[in-house]
Amino acid sequence: MTAQITFRPYSSADRDICLAIFYANCPEFFAVSERIDYERFLDSDPVGYELCLYNGSIAGAYGLTGNGAARQNLSWILLSPRTQRSGIGSAIMRKVLSLAKMAGSAQIHIAASHLSAPFFATFGAVTVRESKNGWGIGLHRIDMELHL
């Protein structure tokens, strides 16, 4: 059976599953201190935040926001640890690239960590700034740009 990857907009009914995926990624990919920011983000009814479903189950989420032609921002991209290395991250990035190109954007800004930056680099993102412990102790922030 071939895995089916689909996308749909986030709704407030998805809050608990998104938080569960976030917690499952702490402290390896997200600092525990980011939890409150993510909760506030989810509670703001974020426009452009989408869920990635893997065989019908929520396996990840991401946001793409910005002002069209200038720059888009990739925000709060996360995957369930159970589905990492299954192609979901790549499917999300293909969707992100497609949406940004359709919006006429010239670049995407990505605030990554030293752990996720190599993944984004495979899609052409380049490092523009590094901040040691920028997300928390031992979790370095890597700001990247992906030019379209």
Q: How confident is the model at residue 68 (pLDDT cuts 50, 70, 90)?
A: low
In whole angstroms, give the CA distance from residue 14 to residue 119: 26
**Total of domains in the chain:** 1
SS3 10: coil
Percent with pLDDT over 90 in the chain? 88
E strand map for 36-115? 49-54, 57-66, 72-79, 107-113
Cβ-contact 144, 112 below 8 angstroms:
yes
- Tell me the pLDDT tens digit for each residue of 85-134: 788 999 999 999 999 999 999 999 999 999 999 999 999 999 999 999 99
- Tell me the pLDDT tens digit for each residue of 7-23: 999 999 999 999 999 99
- Read off the pTM: 0.91
Q: How does the average pLDDT of the chain come out, rounded? A: 94
The domain that contains 57 carries what CATH number?
Answer: 3.40.630.30
In whole angstroms, give the CA distance from residue 53 to residue 27: 23
Parent domain of 111: 5-147
Q: According to the model, what pLDDT value does residue 135 have?
A: 93
